[in-house]
Chain A
Amino acid sequence: KQEVTQIPAALSVPEGENLVLNCSFTDSAIYNLQWFRQDPGKGLTSLLLIQSSQREQTSGRLNASLDKSSGRSTLYIAASQPGDSATYLCAGPPGFSSGSARQLTFGSGTQLTVLP
């Protein structure tokens, strides 16, 4: 069974800093990994999806990497802004080559606060 862990649980940084959020997973046969943003009391917004064949995926100031061999993914946020304050979740499906998102396993999230 896939297990997903996120470190740190909370992070507070001053505006403008670059930061890295970590996600580790136990089943390296993962075929993709998805990063989400969640604002307090709200739903999830998909940020980036990395396929197993990719090592990186970029969207604006966000860059996500995937290292299957080590069971790790990172989300890099450049030049952080107060509007980036939210909880960031990573999620992976079970480790088979095909399947659906139905069995997404979520990490517990990293609560990010960017101070003005």
Chain B
Amino acid sequence: SAVISQKPSRDICQRGTSLTIQCQVDSQVTMMFWYRQQPGQSLTLIATANQGSEATYESGFVIDKFPISRPNLTFSTLTVSNMSPEDSSIYLCSVEERGQMNTEAFFGQGTRLTVV
């Protein structure tokens, strides 16, 4: 199974600033996924990061607010820009591994962001 390292594990940030979250995978993967989990909620997909092309954003998420980089097949970053307290969430990086019969998702340990 894929091993995903995410940094930072947590941060407390001032409103109006930006935070960049890093995600490193121990194997090459085609797609990397960024999720948000707001307090007490389940996970919501922000975007899919493909190497060599623009990220694909889900409804309600825009590139100006959540710019994503994907410089190679093992690394991606998500930036949370111009933060407000409403951005306080856990942000998670995920990859998938495709087997013959199924696709399994794996997640990083998450970045717990608090905006004050």
Could you tell me which A residues sit within 8 Å of B by CB distance? Answer: 31-32, 34, 36, 41-46, 49, 51, 53, 89, 91, 93, 99-104, 106-109
Hey, what's the 0/1 contact readout for B88-109 against A, CB within 8 Å counting as 1? Answer: 0010101010100111111111
Q: Are B101 and A51 in contact (CB under 8 A)?
A: yes
B-side contacts of A45, CB under 8 Å? 107
**B42: Cβ under 8 A from any A Cβ:** yes
Q: Are B33 and A36 in contact (CB under 8 A)?
A: no
Q: Are A36 and B107 in contact (CB under 8 A)?
A: yes
What 4 pairs across the A-B complex have the smallest Cβ distances?
A: A43-B110, A101-B105, A44-B107, A101-B96
Select A102's contact among B33, B92, B106, beta carbons within 8 Å. B33
**Whole-angstrom distance between the Cβ of A10 and the nearest chain B Cβ:** 11
Count, chain B residues at interface, CB 8 A: 27
Q: From DSSP, what is the main secondary structure of chain B's interface residues?
A: strand
Separation of A41 and B8 alpha carbons in the complex (Å):
13
B-side contacts of A109, CB under 8 Å? 42
Q: Are A101 and B33 in contact (CB under 8 A)?
A: yes
- B79-93, CB < 8 A from A: 90, 92
Q: Are B42 and A104 in contact (CB under 8 A)?
A: no
Separation of A80 and B48 alpha carbons in the complex (Å):
37
**B112: Cβ under 8 A from any A Cβ:** yes
**B13: Cβ under 8 A from any A Cβ:** no
With A34-B105, A43-B6, A109-B42 known as contacts, the answer to whether A100 contacts B96 (CB < 8 A) is: yes
**B115: Cβ under 8 A from any A Cβ:** no
Q: Are B105 and A46 in contact (CB under 8 A)?
A: yes
Instruction: For B48, give the chain A residue with the smallest CB separation.
Output: A102
Select B109's contact among A42, A101, A104, beta carbons within 8 Å. A42
Q: Are A46 and B103 in contact (CB under 8 A)?
A: no
